[in-house]
Structure 1
């Protein structure tokens, strides 16, 4: 079962975009990627551009990262990059594949809806739950999706991380 958690507002300033942060209980890597994303935002902009981020600087495990292309029609999203942990989870390479391909329908719809929300709002999205949909209901996940701006200032790509843990909370 997936639990959707709203991101918590911090301080709001009239001259700058609202600040958001993952829930306090979020995995440390999820929080670190969010902090990196915030630190890479050009002054006064709601989100960084792809050129503002450098994978060599990511403070999180690269096998857990993903980068989604946003397309004009179906499929709405494709994996530009998918770390090895995600390919292990899906039991196949994901790079170049449509988001959600091969997932059962309820989970696929939820995954795409979350990405669409991030793309349309320009705000981060967070969710957590178990991995029962892929036969690994003994594992839990946390996912953070972060928008990246294109030349027009709208969301052009999505940077994300998925952390997977066992029942004792140990990273898998």
Structure 2
């Protein structure tokens, strides 16, 4: 078994048993997009295949040197939670305290190590206070090259 096969096999246990079924669906969809040992590319993402999940999807562009992150696409449910459509906004401009949270480090870890990042708990960034808990997953994707330059993100707010 090569390194990627080991990494993909480890994804079977990547989510806790308490994770929502939707998280498992997003993870399964992302895994289905692998071509051999190559991470999914943005061009591989097909909204027609995951229509029920689209409201919770966020695509985040990863810029390097220095690292900075921009919202590319925001699902309808996430627009409602944020109180506005943040597509095109830099995360550190949308949330002034962003760099003081664990989120930038989580994204860099996903980008550099080609791992997923799952979290369930209180939100790290302030939104409209219509929820007190969030569950989210960061999944690495390419954007035409060899580097991870895009995150496929799915979030549920409760």
TM tier, smaller: 0.7 to 0.9
Q: Which structure features the higher share of strand residues?
A: 1
- 1:1-172 to 2 correspondence within 5 Å? 13-14=1-2, 16-17=4-5, 18-19=7-8, 20=11, 21-45=14-38, 47-58=39-50, 60-73=52-65, 76-103=68-95, 105=97, 109-131=101-123, 133-134=126-127, 136=129, 139-165=132-158
TM-score (normalised: structure 2): 0.82
Could you list the structure 1 runs, at least 4 aligned residues long, displaced by more than 4 angstroms after superposition.
Answer: none
Q: Give CA deviations for 1:26-70 in whole Å, capped at 9, x if unaligned.
A: 11111100001001100123x211122211112642111011111
Per mean C-alpha deviation after superposition, the further-off stretch among 102-111 and 116-125 is 102-111
Q: How many residues align?
A: 152
Structure 1: stretches of 5+ with no match in the other structure: 1-12, 166-172
Structure 2: stretches of 5+ with no match in the other structure: none
CA change 1:44–1:106 in 2 (3 A) is closer
TM-score (normalised: structure 1): 0.76
CA RMSD of aligned residues (A): 2.4
